[in-house]
Structure 1
Amino acid sequence: MHIMQKKLKVAKIRNELPGCNNRFTLTSSSSIKIISTKNPQAKDLDYFKYFLIIVLAVILLLVILTVLQFIDGGHGGLLYKKISLQPVRNAPEIIITNNLPESLPTNENCSYWDCFNVFRCGRTGHDRITVYVYPLEKYVDENDIPVTETISKEYYEILDTIINSNYYTANPNEACLFIPSIDTLNQDRIRSQLTAKVLERLPYWSNGTNHLFFNMLAGMAPEFSPVIELNTANAIIAGADFDTYTFRTGFDVSIPVYSPFAKLAEVKSLQGERPWLVISSQLSIDPYFHQELLDLQALHSKLLILDICEYHNYSKRCDIETDKVYKYPRILQKSKYCLVFRGERMGQLVLLEAMAAGCVPVIIMDGVVMPFSNVIDWKRAAVFIMEDYTNTLMSTLNGISKEKYKQLQKQTKWLYDKYFSSLKSIIATTLDIIQDRVYPQWGRIYDDWNIASDEKSTNPLFLPITAPRNEGFTAVILTYDRVASLYKLIEKLGKVPSLAKVIVVWNNQRKAPPPISNFPFIQKPIKIIQTKANKLSNRFYPFEEIETEAILSIDDDIIMLTADELEFGYEVWREFPDRLVGFPSRTHIWDNVTLSWKYESEWTNEISMVLTGAAFYHKYWNYLYTTGMPPEVKDWVDDRMNCEDIAMNFLVANVTNKPPIKVAPKKKFKCPECVNNEMLSADLGHMFERSKCVDFFTKAFGRMPLRSVEFRADPVLYKDPFPEKLKRFNDIGSL
């Protein structure tokens, strides 16, 4: 390649040479200076100079390339770029002869511990696996016949997915995993013996160690081996036809057979009537199973058996009883369950087609290794029936409750959307599985692989069930210029036993905060932080001065809360350290008129938000708000100077899938004694803006994470007819 580049460079230089009436000299700055002359006697001398300059240019180019390669040291840089998968004209042919050694046969006893060199991974400081794709080469035998087939569209997409993923590296010296650019998806396209010789010629082959092959159709007639029939030595195989006898647990990766027809079956919603209980649409099933289905159909009208029509068309299926033609695979959308039988191969197209249609797969294959079975719990999404018990099919399905079916169906659709909806998803999941093997300390757990984000109930803080009391909380007050109410608030905070520190976030850049000597004297330290910009998000910045786990976020005009109420709020937070625990509450509702989410402040028994004008939460959420909040949400808040409290509720609920906790009874905030005729219109405008925030945040997060709850935390013996001295928090609920 370098030689070709050099020749092109020389040709370019020659094309740029001046005519006979010009000569050129090299100046001290190595630029070319053109000097006009018409002396015919100098023509021979000029040609000699031209030739000399060309030779010097070629030598200089060689030196530059050599120096760059030396400096690069094999670590990427200028000489390593993403490979192009486009065909190269006149690519040099590599001749494979019978005299070359073959690769070793597939090692059936391989495990992660003895056939995978983990020391190749992470030695350059990466916290992820790095994958190198071999450049495309043209291999021919001695008769100039191609040894390897032209890569298929599917395999091209696989290579392209890897090259554009975060795992890809263009530097083979830092690669953890190697992908040959040889299409091995279909056994029928492989010339096994000669292809094995090609593998032996790969520069980093090393008996297949740390190499990965993709195969979806293994074996050939009549045996149809469940493993690709190719000498892959110690390489990992991501295959679709494994059974429990051939699958190397913890080493190989089981993948599905990708079906492009699955896209035609996809449903956006699982709502709608499904008249058929179960459909069999798989082609060329074993005659034994076919007869079993006929016997069942004679007794049950909810079983539909489809087969190929008289004219072969994969997008059509015919009822074997009435010859009625159905569009396939859309007919799968009309059935609750879809059958998946053992065929010539274990992997079947119908699996992904059924899942795309929201049809729960019924697996009737003994010894099958389901796709990604080492991380996916298929019992949550499929029904398994042993082959010898096919006659129990209808009774088994009729015995599944409606609630259980809905769970299976929802999980089926979620698995398809997440892992199987495209070749890109399948390949990305395969690499993710290997990533978790190499770096188990950062690996995903069962819930991450099997539970949708809106169903998880997680505590990311890893705190005890009840946080310790002795640490106390830090009060963070956001203020601009309301000094009088700020002082009153600090005086009240000073009476709360668990207060550890007060931090005043001064959001006014035009005016300096009052000196600390002017602040009320309390027994706890006060720290004033002046911000660089007037942004509401400043109240959620993870200031290093916050040393306690608990934060009380409070506005400078919330002066109606008593010391008992604040202390009790902190006690409640200790019981729910991963939640927002606050006083003023709000909820969200769906507006059927505007078809959007609406912010609602009516006092009802149902809440989904607590306002951070007076709320306790863990300081981790400040860090996550600053570093993990969708940027469009933070920009929305800061540009409109509104809705930072709604954004924080979205953030916490999106991670935990839990509702907030409201503390103490309903109470008027702000100034209940104020009377203003314009308050009603102002409130309507405020509610409209807040509703826009809720709807925008839902789109930014990709879902509605808020959870509604009818729950309120009150102290023990609250309003019970006991003497006041027996009650710990007496001053709660007063206006």
Structure 2
Amino acid sequence: MRVLIWKDGENHLIFNMLPGSGPDYNSVVELSLGQALIAGGGFSSWTYRSGFDVSLPVYSPMAAQLDSQQIAVQDRPWVVISSQINIHPEYTQELAHLAQEHSELLVLEACPSMQSSNYSMRCRGDEVYHYPQVLKRAKFCLVIRGARLGQPSLMDAMAAGCIPVMCADSLVMPFEDVIDWKRAAIFILEENLNSLMEVLSSVSDEHVSEMQVQGSWLYQSYFSSINAVTQTTLEILNDRVFAQRARTFEDWNLPPNPLAARSPLFLQLTAPRSQGFTAVILTYDRVESLFLLIQKLAKVPSLNKILIVWNNQRKSPPHSSMIPKIDKPLKIIKTTANKLSNRFYPYEEIETEAILTIDDDILMLTADELEFGYEVWREFPDRIVGFPSRTHVWDNVTMHWKYESEWTNQISMVLTGAAFHHKYWSYLYTTAMPGNIKEWVDQHMNCEDIAMNFLVANVTQKAPIKVTPRKKFKCPECTNTEMLSADLNHMMERSQCIDRFSAIYGYMPLQTVEFRADPVLYKDTFPEKLKRFNDIGSL
């Protein structure tokens, strides 16, 4: 039965945490392993099967004696410490020679008066040092080839926040397939050991600090315990099996920024096209332009459903027989109060992740423009992606924020009169808007779009994305007296909104960028059949 299960080692993983035994300390497992994967410490490049085996650290139980408190670079008196015992005599002589010329190099050996099994003490002549605590007093710690190729002193150095200086030519570094060791360690060829101090003197204090932080993070993340080493090994193998869900090289090597915002949307890298989007039209009584908009939206390939939010309590919505017949579902929702926030309510009829919020007078956008906007949103599903853009500026005269509607290359807001967003933001707007912003918006009938931009920017720390070059969005059939945004008082109030909202948030979350997404080739003189999006407006 055992033979049947073994199957020449196929799909078996063998851990070899402490490789070899004296006197040879061979890094090769001297067993008939067949096709078994080896997770071994101190692999040599001559025996390591890259992409198959997993290289482990030679684990050090002494590293656990070190506390996690880090000592700053400037508070470490020694530049480099060599603390290994029983290294090759040739290297010992070389280090002794360097120590005579460089007082900032501390070379430690086994204490002659101590028992050979006492690894917690190191000596330099009559001076006695506690190990591994002494490592916290140096910027760099030399890890040199010994009788065993891989050395536990690597883990001791990393636990102490001491940057490893690796001098073992054929050593395969732990988890080398996924960890970028050049960010956390210095490498010197064995034959160049005599240039140790020259190499280390060329490393700036700033870079030393960065490497110290990186090394400490790598240790805490992947090496701090047998459990952490085992878990990391299994994660590496999992990434090999399920490559489509594997972590990137950056994911393995970049410590999380505690100040960085994380998107709450657990989506695929690109949102699926199949769902399409739900168009939510906020309207009051402009029936004629509403019908025209419905007909235009019906031509967009990715449209899934149209939701008409009827915000007029004094007048009934048009009868279904009057509404243009389209081949997509359409539903009218009558609200109980005329509130701008009704456009962001998470209606149960919204079954798609993507929502297009659009005003009933936005008639100039083409089907190609709307489809392209949806495609851009799919790539950036945590952002507001849309067409009319605005920015905010600081007025040094009034010492207040100012809402800017002039045509500029800078944007910090995309107005939700024609924009895509994830339905999660509608839920957050309705249930978790900070302060009294939502109530203020409904009372003043203004700034719901600014409020949504603040909300998303505060969570993601990202700017919205404007798509296509079009800048004119006024309804050609509507007069200025019908348009709320034409009122100068309305514009002044929008500046006050920015001031008010930033005070409630306690800072300015809006991010300003100079960026616009346009379809590839849309301006080039190629045949239309070679372009996916042909009907893109210029202004």
Normalised TM-score (structure 2) = 0.62
Other-structure match for 1:213? 14
- From 27, 37, 60, the counterpart of 1:236: 37
Other-structure match for 1:343? 146
SS in 1 for 2:143: strand
Residue identity matched to 1:460: L
Other-structure match for 1:286? 88
Closer, same or farther in 2 for the Cα pair 1:499/1:247, shift >3 Å?
A: closer
SS in 2 for 1:389: helix
Matches within 5 A, 1:330-479: 331-400=134-203, 405=208, 408-440=211-243, 442-451=245-254, 460-461=269-270, 476-477=279-280, 479=282
Structure 2: distance between partners of 1:317 and 1:586: 64
Structure 2: distance between partners of 1:423 and 1:575: 45
Q: Quick check: 1:552–1:614 contact (8 Å CA) kept in 2? A: no
Matches within 5 A, 1:616-627: 616=419, 622=422
Q: Per-residue displacement from partner, 1:557-610 (whole Å, max 9, x unpaired)?
A: 9x7x894899989989988973444556789xxxxxxxxxxxx97669999964
Closer, same or farther in 2 for the Cα pair 1:462/1:567, shift >3 Å?
A: closer
- From 431, 435, 459, the counterpart of 1:639: 431
SS in 1 for 2:5: coil
Q: Quick check: 1:352–1:420 contact (8 Å CA) kept in 2? A: yes
Residue identity matched to 1:639: T
Structure 2: distance between partners of 1:405 and 1:573: 46
Other-structure match for 1:538? 346
- From 127, 132, 149, the counterpart of 1:328: 132
Closer, same or farther in 2 for the Cα pair 1:288/1:444, shift >3 Å?
A: same
Give the Å deviation of 1:364. 0.5
Are 1:528 and 2:320 matched, yes or no?
no
Structure 2: distance between partners of 1:258 and 1:602: 59
Residue identity matched to 2:141: C
Q: Quick check: 2:79–2:140 contact (8 Å CA) kept in 1? A: yes
Other-structure match for 1:35? none
Matches within 5 A, 1:196-275: 204-230=5-31, 232=33, 234-263=35-64, 265=66, 267=68, 273=74, 275=76
Q: Per-residue displacement from partner, 1:292-319 (whole Å, max 9, x unpaired)?
A: 2232233334433344566679796556
Give the Å deviation of 1:439. 4.4
Are 1:554 and 2:357 matched, yes or no?
yes
Q: Quick check: 1:213–1:237 contact (8 Å CA) kept in 2? A: yes
SS in 1 for 2:84: coil
Give the Å deviation of 1:539. 7.6
Residue identity matched to 1:278: V
Q: Quick check: 1:273–1:334 contact (8 Å CA) kept in 2? A: no
Are 1:297 and 2:297 matched, yes or no?
no
SS in 1 for 2:379: coil
Structure 2: distance between partners of 1:349 and 1:606: 56
Closer, same or farther in 2 for the Cα pair 1:220/1:491, shift >3 Å?
A: same
Q: Per-residue displacement from partner, 1:104-158 (whole Å, max 9, x unpaired)?
A: xxxxxxxxxxxxxxxxxxxxxxxxxxxxxxxxxxxxxxxxxxxxxxxxxxxxxxx
Structure 1: distance between partners of 2:334 and 2:120: 67
Other-structure match for 1:46? none
Closer, same or farther in 2 for the Cα pair 1:387/1:679, shift >3 Å?
A: closer
Structure 2: distance between partners of 1:399 and 1:374: 28
Residue identity matched to 1:538: P
Closer, same or farther in 2 for the Cα pair 1:531/1:325, shift >3 Å?
A: farther
Give the Å deviation of 1:371. 1.4
Structure 1: distance between partners of 2:367 and 2:209: 44
Structure 1: distance between partners of 2:511 and 2:494: 28
Matches within 5 A, 1:123-142: none
Residue identity matched to 2:346: N
Give the Å deviation of 1:351. 1.7
Give the Å deviation of 1:327. 6.7
Q: Quick check: 2:80–2:105 contact (8 Å CA) kept in 1? A: yes
Residue identity matched to 2:193: T
SS in 1 for 2:171: coil
Structure 1: distance between partners of 2:45 and 2:293: 69
Moved more, 442-451 or 509-518: 509-518
SS in 2 for 1:244: coil
Q: Per-residue displacement from partner, 1:455-513 (whole Å, max 9, x unpaired)?
A: 99xx93399xxx9xxxxx9683364xx52479867868988999666954457999997
Q: Per-residue displacement from partner, 1:141-177 (whole Å, max 9, x unpaired)?
A: xxxxxxxxxxxxxxxxxxxxxxxxxxxxxxxxxxxxx
Q: Per-residue displacement from partner, 1:316-348 (whole Å, max 9, x unpaired)?
A: 65562782646734x544544322112232232
Q: Quick check: 1:661–1:711 contact (8 Å CA) kept in 2? A: no
Residue identity matched to 1:323: E
Q: Report which structure shows greater RCO (CA 8 Å, sep ≥6).
A: 2
Q: Quick check: 2:63–2:159 contact (8 Å CA) kept in 1? A: yes
Residue identity matched to 1:433: I
SS in 2 for 1:538: coil
SS in 1 for 2:74: coil
Residue identity matched to 2:196: L
Q: Per-residue displacement from partner, 1:18-49 (whole Å, max 9, x unpaired)?
A: xxxxxxxxxxxxxxxxxxxxxxxxxxxxxxxx
Identity between Structure 1 and Structure 2 (%): 29
Q: Quick check: 1:659–1:708 contact (8 Å CA) kept in 2? A: yes
Higher alpha-carbon Rg? 1
Residue identity matched to 2:19: A
Which 5+ residue runs of structure 2 have no aligned equivalent?
Answer: 263-267, 336-341, 393-399, 439-450, 474-482, 519-535
Give the Å deviation of 1:391. 0.8
Which 5+ residue runs of structure 1 have no aligned equivalent?
Answer: 1-199, 468-472, 588-599, 627-632, 695-705, 716-727
Structure 2: distance between partners of 1:490 and 1:616: 19
Structure 2: distance between partners of 1:264 and 1:634: 50
Q: Quick check: 2:71–2:136 contact (8 Å CA) kept in 1? A: no
Structure 2: distance between partners of 1:322 and 1:507: 86
Other-structure match for 2:523? none
Structure 2: distance between partners of 1:513 and 1:333: 75
Q: Quick check: 2:278–2:307 contact (8 Å CA) kept in 1? A: no
Other-structure match for 1:146? none
Moved more, 277-286 or 497-506: 497-506
Closer, same or farther in 2 for the Cα pair 1:371/1:681, shift >3 Å?
A: same
Q: Quick check: 1:243–1:368 contact (8 Å CA) kept in 2? A: yes
Structure 2: distance between partners of 1:281 and 1:271: 20
SS in 2 for 1:476: strand
Q: Per-residue displacement from partner, 1:674-718 (whole Å, max 9, x unpaired)?
A: 5899999998775566569x9xxxxxxxxxxx9955425599xxx
Structure 2: distance between partners of 1:677 and 1:248: 68
Residue identity matched to 1:246: T
Structure 2: distance between partners of 1:265 and 1:531: 66
Other-structure match for 1:136? none
Q: Per-residue displacement from partner, 1:348-405 (whole Å, max 9, x unpaired)?
A: 2222233344433221112112112233343343222111111111222233456655
Structure 2: distance between partners of 1:678 and 1:461: 37
Structure 2: distance between partners of 1:394 and 1:615: 63
Give the Å deviation of 1:289. 2.2
Structure 1: distance between partners of 2:319 and 2:9: 71
